[in-house]
Amino acid sequence: MIFDCELKRVVDDSYDIEIGRQLSNKLVSDLKAGLCGKASRFAVVTDSNVEGLYALPIMEKLALADLRADLITIPAGEKSKTREVKAEVEDKMLSLGCRRDCAVIAVGGGVVTDLAGFVAGTFGRGVPFVNYATTLLSAADASVGGKTAVDTPLATNLIGMFNQPKKVYIDIDTWKTLPRREIASGLAETVKHGCLADIELFEYLEKNIEKVFDCDGEVCEYISQHNCEVKYKVVMQDERESGLREILNLGHTVGRAVETLSDYQLTHGEAVSIGIVAQARLGLTFGYVTAEEVQRIEKLLHRAELPVSLPDYVDRAALADKLYTDKKVRNGRLRFVFQDGIGAMKCFGDNQYGKEIEKAQIAEILSEM
């Protein structure tokens, strides 16, 4: 006997991204108005750097609005984005009495939004969550698009899920408290977006990139809007990364491997910067970009105070082997996504954006970096 369990469904995962300044009051008013549905309590997840700056003031405002909330703080840094820390957050939520009537509010950068979004996706088989991004990196990348994950000793982001937030708040004023190195890290993902889909953004950065470090309001709003537009246009067409969305991994095949091998001495953006240069130089050998375009990319990354070469302590041979932990590997073959000049990506067939390459080809590029 066969039972046909037909479970077709249509899901609307649409959400708003609000870009502005001092958005904590808007966050609280939205929660009060039912942003997270029937959630009656909130778990605010943050890190030790952000706790005093933004999470505690948000907690005070939630209390004044008679919204029940508990604060859960993890150590700052990529090393907290693990299965073990995820379990600690879940255990804390359980001990506080959180059940399926709760929602998660992620206040912080990419580590916090990745981890908290993953927690929300599995806690009680799924509870609502909101991202309140406090870094340029999370505003450009982690808080938008629904990818959530944790790292493993083997590689970054290998365990996770697609889970869309109820809303994303990009508070540009929070960038004023970022160390200069963290602003640079976020600029790597911004340059990446210009490289892969937005020549206008790339040229704007060529004229204004130093102003980002000064947190110039007009410039920061411009790059925030364009970052979101690039990701939205891609994610809208391919939420689950079945083809087109792979292009958002530009620079990440090498970048993630470098990040892991550096034992996170490099920030995510610094590692991605190196990865962008590696794919551009490899793309030059295939004729996908010109030497002039490679020089423009490297010059812009250098002006963003990002590395364009590998640190001496990263073993080139070990790095070439580490590339095989990348999620784009198929049947044991390395696959890269490549720029088509500046502002577009190469397509290698029907919805196919990854190209198989030989280990020796990328190993040669890495040896020269």
pLDDT on residue 287: 97
Pure H helices in 65-198 = 83-95, 110-122, 136-137, 180-197
Last residue of a domain, one of 177, 207, 240: 177
Task: For residue 143, count CB atoms less than 10 angstroms from its CB and return exposed for 0-12, middle for 13-18, buried for 19 or more.
Answer: buried
Q: Are residues 96 and 236 in the same domain?
A: no
Within this chain, do residues 191 and 304 fall inside the same structural domain, yes or no? yes
Place of tokens 């490549």: 338
What is 55-104 written as a DSSP string? IHHHHHHHHHTT-EEEEEEE-SSGGG-BHHHHHHHHHHHHHTT--TTEEE
**CA 23 remoteness from chain centre:** 21
Other Cβ atoms less than 10 A from the Cβ of 303: the count is 15
At 162-216, the pLDDT tens digits run 999 999 999 999 999 999 999 999 999 999 999 999 999 999 999 999 999 999 9
Is 236 in the same domain as 359? yes
Is residue 204 domain-shared with residue 272, that is, in the same domain? yes
Q: Summarize the chain as % helix, strand, coil (round to 5).
A: 50, 15, 35
**What pLDDT does residue 9 have?**
66
Question: What pLDDT sits at residue 242?
Answer: 63
End-to-end CA distance of the chain: 62
Q: In 3D, which of 296, 339, 96, 100 has the Cα closest to residue 206?
A: 296
Q: Which of 177, 207, 230 is the last residue of a domain?
A: 177
Residue 7 within any structural domain of the chain: no
User: Cβ atoms within 10 A of the Cβ of 271, count?
Assistant: 30
Work out the angle at residue 107's Cα, subtended by the Cα atoms of residues 235 and 164, and round it to the nearest 5 degrees: 25
| 72 lies in the same domain as 163 | yes
Render pLDDT for 231-275 as a digit per residue (tens, 0 to 9): 888 777 756 666 777 888 999 999 999 999 999 999 999 999 999
Domain shared by 46 and 185, yes or no: no
My answer on whether 102 and 250 are in the same domain is: no
Pairing verdict, β 41-47 and 102-108: parallel
Instruction: Look up the pTM and report it.
Output: 0.90
- DSSP for 285-313 reads HHTSS-HHHHHHHHHHHHHTT---S--TT
Q: Residue 316 is encoded by which pair of tokens? A: 């080139």
Cα separation values, 133 from 8, 40, 364, 365, Å:
34, 23, 38, 35
Per the structure, the count of domains in the chain is 2
* pLDDT at residue 239, as a whole number: 60
Which residues constitute the domain of residue 52?
16-177
pLDDT digits (tens, 9 = 90+) for 147-172: 899 999 888 888 999 999 999 999 99
Helices (H) and strands (E) in the chain, counts: 13, 10
Q: Let me know: does 189 contact 273? Beta carbons within 8 Å.
A: no
Q: Same domain, yes or no, for 160 and 213?
A: no
Domain membership flag for residue 184:
yes
| Within-domain flag for 11 | no
Inter-CA distances, 230 with 128, 131, 168, 279, Å? 25, 19, 16, 20
208 and 276 assigned to the same domain? yes
* pLDDT tens-digit readout, 33-72: 999 999 999 999 999 999 999 999 999 999 999 999 999 9
61 & 206 share domain? no
Residue 31: alpha-carbon gap to chain centroid = 24
For 18, left (φ over 0), alpha (ψ -120 to 50), or beta? beta
Distance CA 258, CA 248 (A): 18
CATH code of the domain containing 295: 1.20.1090.10
Question: Is residue 294 packed enough to be buried (19+ CB in 10 Å), middle (13-18) or exposed (0-12)?
Answer: middle
